[in-house]
Every structure is written in structure tokens, then in C-alpha cells.
Structure 1
Amino acid sequence: MASLAVTMKGQITLRRDLLTHLGVKPGERIEFDKLPGGELRVKAARPTGTIDDFIGRHAGKAKRPLTIEEMNEIAASGWAGEE
């Protein structure tokens, strides 16, 4: 079982092996569920957006048609919570 230290600000840092186990990459989010007995369930937050959110968010911003690579970048940044 992994043990983590809590900082004076009440923060913890998850080690890379734990993040890899969760499948979490930089910029992605983690969810916690409170369980009885002072336990927490940790899981990777998965994107819940729709294609309408994607299209509406970026409507009118492109001066030219986007490449597939550019669309993938925009989608990944939006799902990671970046603006």
C-alpha cells in the first residue's frame, strides 16, 4: 500500500506509478468518492463532453479549415480542462 505525506497546505502528490495505474496524464483530472470509514475511492475523470460542445466552443475561431492534427489537439486540450 502506498503512503503519501500531507503538506502544511493539506496537499498530496501522487507518484508517477500511481498516476500511470489510473491512466492519468498531465492536465487531466482525478475524481474522489467519499466512502464510509474515512476511505476515499480515486479514479480518473473521463471526458463527458459532446460533439456539440466541441463545435460550439470553437465555432468561428478558425480562419481556414483545420487539419485532423489540429482538431485532435483542440479536442485533447478541451477534455483536459484547458481553454
Structure 2
Amino acid sequence: MSAKEWNVTVFIDEGPDRTVARAVMTDDGRMAAVGRGVARRNPVDRPVAEIGDELAVSRALEDLAQRIHDMASHDFAHMAGPAGQVPA
């Protein structure tokens, strides 16, 4: 069995009322997928940066996971061939 390594780097951009996170997955140094997450602070809430970071990052990782799943589904469908076609 061969070993592979995929890396995920998370970038966080914090503002006073909004935090944006990007989760970038690389495969052999090439960007393979990107997930994005946003957290917005309700004006009546106290500004706690860690909470915005956690929410935005978790949402970016969820988005990344969904995108990887979609890639696998697309690849599987492509390998299976046209719908209704029976392999010879």
C-alpha cells in the first residue's frame, strides 16, 4: 500500500463583525479543493473573536468536506459510464 499525504491549511480573516475562513486542501503541493466559511456577529452579542474563528473554520471545513465528497461522486459517476449502459 502506498502512502499519500493531503494537507489542509486554514486561513482566517477577522473583521469587527464578520470572520471569513478558507480551508485549502493540497495534494502533492497542488491546490485540490477549497472550502469557505463565514461567521457574523449579532450586534447584541459581545465581541469574542475565538467564537467567530471557530464557527467560520468549522463551516469552511464542512464546505471543504462536501466539495471533496462531490469530487468523489463525480469521479465515480464518470468511471461508471453513461447511465443505463451495461458493461460488456
TM score, norm. by length of structure 1: 0.33
Structure with greater proportional strand content: 2
Larger Rg: 2
TM-score (norm 2): 0.31
